[in-house]
Amino acid sequence: MRRTTVIRTGLSALLLLGTWATAGITPATAASPTAEAPASADAPASAGLLSAMQKDLGLTKSQATARLAAEKTATAVEGKARQAAGSTYGGSWFTPDTGKLTVAVTSDRNADAVRATGATIRLVKNSARQLDTVKERLDALDAPTGVSGWRVDPKSNQVVVSVVAAQKNDNDVRDFVTRALKTGPVTVEEIAEAPRTTAAGTVGGDPYYTGNVRCSIGFSVHGGFVTAGHCGQTGAAVRGWDNSAIGNFQGSSFPGNDYAWVNVANGWWTVPVVLGWGTVSDQLVRGSNEAPVGASICRSGSTTHWHCGNVQAKNVTVNYSQGTVYSLTQTSVCVEGGDSGGAYISGDQAQGVTSGGSGNCTAGGQSIYQPIKPILSRYGLTLHTA
């Protein structure tokens, strides 16, 4: 039997973040008769997920339910609003206080069409295309370690460069900032520490192992699962929580990107589930619609288990010590070593896999994930959904 270091409910006595093993265990004997049922297709979320949102986001149950409903609407509106805005599109974000999606536009030429989608309007100077161009110029620069990364920020309508406060006066950092400011609408923020990847050496706990590294499974795809690229190179063997062989890394990219996928064999197979680790019921995965900036998001990982927060920024470049990674998403969810590769989910929609972060889950921190759609596209994979 699997080591029970954490009490789990529902399928979690049986499931390993999208896979489960057949060591004499069957669903009938592993499922708890008192386990909380997962959310139905019509329900916004399970009671456990709503409870976690209340704890991590400071919401009441009714507020959490209303927020999920509003975020689902905003996710559906975002694509239509962007199309309506056309070349005037300057970015978008969800505002929890209003429950609305705000779309930045550079002129009111298409404003009526954007409002007709249900979004609110903010006039800005720079289009999303212009901001992306500025970020691409920064992506072409060599950054010192004191510069932790940069991202497009639609709310400020600028590209934000993050500098480690203790290294802001370093000559290389100051030189980079000077060059960055010349590329266009750029602003600089100071942060306490740089993000780091969150793989860990082999210690106790669940998930999967490759060499002497422990990481976390992300989402099941047909034929395997996706995870972080920095966890293993193509061809590396992968072992499960019971040390039995699962498969091998079929593809891996890091740095530049931070994604990989592993095939499953040897008696393992996939299921469309993210572990709730006893904090919430195991969550079914029903799709991969991308949540907007400002939306709530939760994460499952093998070290710190289940935590929730908000999407803070997209199209983020992170300057890890191992190399630069592009097009990541930043959140207010904490992570720690060993959480790498784990699943980010918004409602029942897969969002991405853990790349890294700063801080921890005791004092608080931020995290970065690799969006899932580029992984599926790169390797021609199909997400396993309920």
Instruction: Catalogue the active-site residues.
Output: 230, 258, 340
Provide the H-helix boundaries in the chain.
27-30, 47-57, 61-85, 111-115, 128-139, 171-181, 372-379
Q: Which two tokens stand for residue 64?
A: 């959490």
Residues in the chain: 386
CB count, 10 Å around CB of 250? 15
Among the listed residues 17, 57, 44, 48, the one whose alpha carbon sits nearest the alpha carbon of residue 332 = 57
Q: Which two tokens stand for residue 369?
A: 């994930």
- Whether omega for the bond prior to residue 27 falls within 30 degrees of 0, making it cis, is no
| Separation in Å, CA 277 to CA 17, 328, 367 | 10, 26, 19
Among the listed residues 124, 121, 179, 132, the one whose alpha carbon sits nearest the alpha carbon of residue 159 = 132
The whole-angstrom separation of Cα 264 and Cα 128 is 40
